[in-house]
Amino acid sequence: MRADISPRAKLALYGVMCVLLIPFVFPTWWMVTSSIKPISDIFAFPPQLVPQNYDWTTYSKVFELQPFVRQYWNSAYIAAVVTVGTMIISSMAGYAFARIRFPYANAVFMIVLLGLLIPSEVTIVPLFQMFLKAGMVNTHWPLILVPIFGAPSVFATFVMRQFFVTLPAELEEAARVDGLGRFKIFTKIALPLAKPALASVAIFTFLHSWNLFLEPIVFLSSSEMFTLPQALTQYTDAYGGPMWNIQLAAATLTALPVLIVFIIAQKQFVEGLAHTGLKG
């Protein structure tokens, strides 16, 4: 912020920012506070911003009604494997498209980007048939392989390619003079400089995998194999209605890792987006 802005202007700016923040903060506040309310208080009118009655047993019931720890582990390790796999694939592919000259490179890159235009709902049936024949239904393999080699990886490849394009060609020329080959130039020079872009890819990929909902519903059938987004739908009463306070308690626990990851890596996230938007 510029130092010559008057105190009144700063105050007005901060006021506007606080107002704009309300639509983003209120749903999270409502989720957390409603997770410790009785169900009757959740639908009270006017809404209670601060709980009048507390029911902390909702968090213990999260673990009693579902194998929540196992489901938490499922989401955590799948998201970690998908994130690492996507970073490896996208960094190599992005570098190849940015720095290696081969016939029809731009045309191939455009064809790859077309994968972003295909909705996952279009491919889910043939993917199910393919994994069914491979005996991988009700396993976590589809949730790992599809994101790594599917649309999330295409977007990550685009981000990495845009970053590598911005690197000065003189770096590679100096490395060749020193006797480095293509792979060592990639691992010793290009990849260490790509940390901001890799951080952006990691956050995007982790969020996508953590929140994946359609694929788990299609490929998984046993509660022990469920991931968290699918597990949240299982907290229902005897009539099939949602147990709102318990669902919100589980949703609060589910949102914590994503919030922590973003807070820790937000600086690298912003830097990565800034670098990848320089030119392309």
**Burial class for 240, CB neighbours closer than 10 Å (0-12, 13-18, 19+):** exposed
Question: Phi-psi bin for 67: left (phi > 0), alpha (psi -120 to 50), beta?
Answer: beta
> So what's the pLDDT on residue 77?
94
Contact 194, 164 (CB under 8 A): yes
The fold of 63-276 is MetI-like fold (1.10.3720)
Decide: helix, strand or coil at residue 236. strand
Question: What residue has token string 């969020």?
Answer: 207
Structure tokens at 88: 């490896």
Tell me the pTM. 0.83
Distances from the Cα of 207 to the Cαs of 200, 225, 269, in angstroms? 11, 19, 13
Beta carbons within 10 angstroms of residue 15's beta carbon: 10
Q: Which residues pair with 236 in a beta bridge?
A: 242
What backbone torsions phi and psi does residue 236 show, to the nearest 5 degrees?
-125, 160
Span 9-45, pLDDT tens digits = 888 888 888 888 888 888 888 888 888 888 888 887 7
**Which regions of the chain are under pLDDT 70?**
1-4, 265-266, 268-280
Contact 72, 250 (CB under 8 A): no
Span 105-148, pLDDT tens digits = 888 888 888 878 888 888 899 999 999 999 999 999 999 999 99
Directed axis angle between helix 68-99 and helix 151-166, to 10°?
Answer: 40
Nearest to 170 by CA among 161, 158, 178: 178
> So what's the pLDDT on residue 227?
93
